[in-house]
């Protein structure tokens, strides 16, 4: 269960565009500006995830990956945290799931605030990968965390109070 520091161009974001709560984003961004550590973001290495993609999604991902060579991981949760960290110019602390036991260990970290509560911890590695496949079937496009943050800014979907400090 590696804990890593990644750049926003290394992580494919989940398709929850735009963000659900501007208030949550602002809260996380303010914490980033103050140098606070945010809870770890759960990710799975792309080589594991793509094994569970259906053929159409796999082909779309291969095309995406050709122009996004740095991509190594898929995010399971953490859109607000990753966007806030990206806008603040900080790296993203992640917890990488490689086997089911990693998920069990990460779930225990919720109690001490190292990870955020989420249902990803109630599923196996395979189930989480299959869920990602379903996300991308519903919204068949890929973006890195970096691309998503840039798009949110360009489309003025980020509060002006944050944009002014970026």
Q: What is the pLDDT of residue 118?
A: 87
Q: Give the whole-angstrom CA distance, residue 101 versus residue 1.
A: 8
Calculate the alpha carbon distances from 5 to 9, 92, 121 in Å.
Answer: 12, 5, 21
**Comparison of pLDDT for 45 and 111, the residue scoring more:** 45
Checking if the pLDDT of 41 tops 80, the result is yes
Query: What are the φ/ψ torsions at residue 75 (nearest 5 degrees)?
Result: -80, 145
pLDDT digit string (tens) for 54-110? Answer: 999 999 999 999 999 999 999 999 999 999 999 999 999 999 999 999 999 999 998
Checking if the pLDDT of 166 tops 80, the result is no
CB-based burial of residue 151 (10 Å sphere; 0-12 exposed, 13-18 middle, 19+ buried)?
middle
Domain segments of the chain as ranges:
3-163
CA proximity to 166, closest of 158, 8, 92, 41: 158
């Amino acid at each position: 269960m590696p804990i890593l520091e990644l750049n926003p161009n290394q992580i494919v974001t989940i398709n929850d565009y735009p963000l659900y709560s501007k208030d949550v984003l602002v809260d996380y961004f303010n914490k980033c500006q103050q140098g606070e550590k945010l809870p770890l973001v759960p990710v799975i290495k792309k080589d594991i995830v793509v094994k569970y993609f259906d053929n159409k999604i796999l082909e779309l991902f291969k095309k995406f990956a050709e122009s996004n060579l740095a991509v190594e991981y898929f995010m399971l949760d953490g859109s607000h945290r990753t966007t806030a960290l990206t806008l603040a110019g900080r790296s993203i602390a992640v917890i990488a799931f490689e086997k089911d036991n990693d998920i069990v260990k990460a779930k225990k970290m919720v109690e001490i605030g190292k990870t955020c509560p989420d249902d990803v911890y109630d599923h196996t590695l395979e189930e989480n990968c299959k869920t990602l496949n379903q996300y991308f079937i519903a919204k068949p496009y890929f973006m890195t965390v970096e691309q998503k943050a840039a798009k949110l800014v360009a489309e003025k979907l980020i509060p002006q109070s944050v944009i002014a400090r970026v």
